[in-house]
């Protein structure tokens, strides 16, 4: 059975308007207003103005202190960080580079503490030109095996104990401290474990992969573990393979653009020498932060893609639901539903729920409904006739399977969060400058979408909760980002927008304990298009100012804002500031950075860092003034 693409349906309407009538088309789309219940009242602060410089900025009455910086000690006894001197052994004990996803786990375990906990941090990738002197970057005479080893140790994951004393947060190396790197063994589980396409000469079992590559956002499980999502793993591989994997590699862009040429010194990153190695990446990884001796697990039932997030919620019947986004232009939104139910008494034994369930891709219709398309071997086109011989094949080639099912290509689905008060699902779509006028559909309504948008799914409320496992559910547009004062942006927001309240490229998001939605941005190289640095905005979801968006935080230029993560009481906001003084700043580098944030020491380069933001009066970040 063939399906007419949504883009075909909507293109007829857009073609008649020749895009000049996009404003009318936008007005006719499904729109969602924040719910009207007045729960928290207005959140008041002096808004941070738009702009761009080498510092970070917060409203008066708030303080942001660096908590963890690249090179800081993670493991007890870690040596002092020496800038510009690659040392893999040292880096394996120190805080990694380009911190992204953050998860706070209260201590004691099982408590609701907001003064003591574990901070879990992804380290997505490295920026060689900002880490090393010029001769040590790719293309330089000093780009050696020693440099590559240090870079491999700088990606991955960090777990640190953090404590607030006298209002100030400190990181304390201790019994929970852990570093996972590009060389750490990970167990492979689920339907693809042990499959021939995951076997290598170094691992003939196909069950042990070395390394965590490109971990971006993530999620937390009800049983106390953390999910870390491998995103742009393809940039770590070079070369081209012939045979059965060539089409697979092409669909994932493996070997097409190598940003990190580790293959020059490590053979497994050379696709021609190790054609199945890249199949062992692009998964969701489960990590137990409370057990530093445990082996992290790649959960293949959740599919292989450039994962941005893995947001876990419980269905009304206690089945586990995971919402997943593939953060690449024209890729898809996914959902996983476990077959069995979560049982609190089983504790961490519930992890098997992530190995046995149904993965589905989303198809959006322009009438405001979404259909979930199961990715199940033997159903529809997912058969040997199309190169799928098992469920393992479907999961290894998740993208191609979704192609054949007719999923809706999206504008880079990134972070996904579930609103606690309603069960509504919020999805950040960062941007897609490559979308043309003949590729529009109702859920991706703007060509050359430089600014991104936010959509919602609204699962049906039932007697005992919310039905996140339904085969169909309504969708709505929450906002179209950009400057509403500029008619060329075709921006639209759910409430009043101040001069500084508009933004571009929504990326990560979070709800605070008061119910406000916080949206972090990542414009990448394109921040020079808007002239404003990335940052963090808050949208009020209730009360007399519901729908209002305002800028709360401004990052140093060239950086993106990741996280965000609140303590249970909302009095601390952790933010990960990635690649400061890098994007869109020609000529910046290790020796000549555009900013030396956060240390501002002439002997130190710019350093990706985690900030701990608190209110000077000690009240919740999202509380009333």
Q: Residue by residue, what is the 3-state secondary structure of 230-272?
A: ECCHHHHCECCCCCCHHHHHHHCCCCCCCCCCHHHCCHHHECC
Note the pLDDT tens digit of each residue in 92-129.
999 999 999 999 999 999 999 999 999 999 999 999 99
From residue 441, give the alpha-carbon distance in Å to each of 5, 45, 261: 9, 38, 38
Instruction: Tell me: pLDDT of 26 over 70.
Output: no
Q: Rounded to whole angstroms, how far apart are CA atoms 93 and 88?
A: 9
Instruction: Tell me: pLDDT of 39 over 60.
Output: no
First to last CA, the chain: 58
Burial of 47 (C-beta count, 10 Å sphere; 0-12/13-18/19+): middle
CB distance 372 to 471 below 8 Å: yes
pLDDT band at residue 1 under the 50/70/90 scheme: very low
Cα-only R_g, the chain: 23
Note the pLDDT tens digit of each residue in 484-495.
999 999 999 999
pLDDT for the residue 38? 38
Domain ranges of the chain: 6-231+282-288+301-615
Average pLDDT across the chain, whole number? 93
pLDDT for the residue 34? 57
Q: Buried b / exposed e across 118-128, counting CB within 10 Å, b at 16+?
A: bbbbbbbbbbb
pLDDT for the residue 36? 44
Instruction: Tell me: pLDDT of 23 over 60.
Output: no
Note the pLDDT tens digit of each residue in 341-372.
999 999 999 999 999 999 999 999 999 999 99
pLDDT for the residue 623? 84
Number of helices (H) and strands (E), helices first, in the chain? 9, 32
pTM for the model stands at: 0.94
Percent residues over pLDDT 70 in the chain? 93
pLDDT for the residue 5? 37
pLDDT for the residue 471? 98
pLDDT for the residue 401? 98
Q: Rounded to whole angstroms, how far apart are CA atoms 98 and 215?
A: 10
Note the pLDDT tens digit of each residue in 595-623.
999 999 999 999 999 999 999 999 999 98
The order of strands in the sheet holding 307-314 is 307-314, 319-326, 333-341, 357-364, 369-374, 472-480, 453-457, 425-429, 413-418
Q: Rounded to whole angstroms, how far apart are CA atoms 347 and 498?
A: 46
Work out the average pLDDT over 455-480. 97
pLDDT for the residue 241? 87
Q: Rounded to whole angstroms, how far apart are CA atoms 228 and 419?
A: 21
pLDDT band at residue 534 under the 50/70/90 scheme: very high
Instruction: Tell me: pLDDT of 4 over 90.
Output: no
Instruction: Tell me: pLDDT of 6 over 80.
Output: no
Across the strands, what pairs with 219? 227
């Amino acid at each position: 059975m063939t399906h007419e693409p949504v883009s075909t349906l909507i293109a007829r309407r857009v073609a008649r308007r020749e895009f000049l009538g996009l404003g009318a088309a936008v007005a006719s789309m499904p729109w969602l207003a924040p719910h009207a219940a007045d729960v928290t009242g207005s959140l008041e602060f002096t808004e941070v103005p738009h702009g761009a410089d080498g510092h970070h900025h917060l409203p008066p009455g708030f303080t942001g202190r660096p908590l963890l910086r690249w090179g800081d000690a993670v493991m007890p006894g870690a040596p002092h960080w020496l800038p510009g001197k690659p040392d893999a052994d040292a880096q394996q004990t120190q805080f990694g580079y380009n911190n992204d996803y953050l998860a706070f786990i209260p201590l004691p375990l099982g408590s609701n503490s907001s003064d003591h906990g574990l901070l879990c941090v992804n380290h997505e990738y490295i920026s060689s030109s900002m880490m090393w002197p010029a001769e040590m970057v790719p293309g330089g005479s000093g780009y050696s095996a020693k440099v590559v080893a240090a870079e491999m140790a700088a990606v991955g994951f960090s777990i640190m104990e953090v404590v607030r004393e006298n209002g100030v947060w400190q990181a304390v190396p201790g019994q929970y401290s852990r570093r996972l790197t590009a060389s750490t063994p990970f167990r492979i589980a689920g339907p693809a474990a042990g499959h021939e396409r995951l076997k290598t000469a170094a691992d003939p079992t196909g069950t042990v992969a070395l390394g965590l590559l490109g971990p971006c956002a993530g999620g937390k499980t009800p049983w106390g573990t953390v999910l870390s999502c491998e995103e742009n793993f393809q940039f770590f591989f070079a070369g081209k393979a012939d045979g059965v994997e060539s089409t697979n590699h092409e669909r994932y862009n493996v070997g097409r653009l190598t940003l990190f040429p580790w293959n020059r010194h490590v053979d497994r990153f050379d696709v021609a020498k190790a054609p199945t190695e890249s199949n062992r990446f692009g998964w969701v990884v489960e990590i137990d932060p409370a057990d530093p001796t445990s082996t992290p697990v790649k959960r293949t039932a959740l599919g292989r893609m450039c994962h941005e997030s893995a947001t876990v919620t419980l269905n009304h019947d206690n089945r586990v639901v995971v919402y997943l986004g593939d953060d690449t232009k024209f890729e898809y939104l996914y959902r996983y539903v476990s077959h069995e139910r979560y049982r609190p008494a089983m504790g961490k034994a519930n992890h098997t729920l992530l190995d046995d369930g149904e993965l589905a891709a989303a198809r959006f219709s322009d009438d405001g409904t979404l259909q979930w398309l199961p990715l199940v071997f033997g159903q529809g086109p997912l058969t040997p006739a199309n190169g799928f011989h098992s469920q393992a094949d479907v999961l290894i080639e998740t993208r191609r399977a979704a192609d054949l099912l007719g999923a809706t290509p999206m504008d880079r689905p990134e972070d996904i969060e579930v609103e606690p008060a309603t069960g509504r699902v919020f999805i950040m779509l960062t941007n897609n400058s490559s979308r043309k006028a003949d590729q529009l559909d109702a859920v991706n309504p703007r060509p050359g979408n430089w600014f991104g948008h936010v959509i919602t799914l609204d699962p049906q409320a039932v007697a005992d909760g919310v039905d996140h496992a339904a085969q169909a559910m309504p969708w709505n547009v929450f906002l179209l980002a950009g400057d509403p004062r500029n008619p060329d942006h075709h921006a639209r927001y759910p409430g009043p927008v101040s001069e500084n309240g508009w933004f571009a490229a929504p990326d990560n998001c979070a709800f605070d304990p008061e119910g406000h939605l916080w949206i972090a941005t990542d414009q990448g190289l394109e921040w020079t298009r808007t002239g404003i640095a990335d940052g963090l905005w808050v949208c009020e979801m209730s009360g007399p100012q519901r729908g209002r968006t305002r800028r709360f935080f401004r990052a140093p230029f060239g950086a993106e804002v990741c996280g965000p993560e609140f303590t249970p009481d909302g009095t601390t906001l952790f933010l990960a500031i990635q690649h400061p003084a890098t994007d869109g700043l020609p000529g910046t580098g290790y020796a000549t950075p555009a900013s030396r944030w956060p240390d501002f020491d002439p002997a130190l380069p710019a350093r990706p860092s985690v900030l701990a933001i608190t209110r000077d009066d000690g009240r919740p970040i999202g509380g009333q003034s």
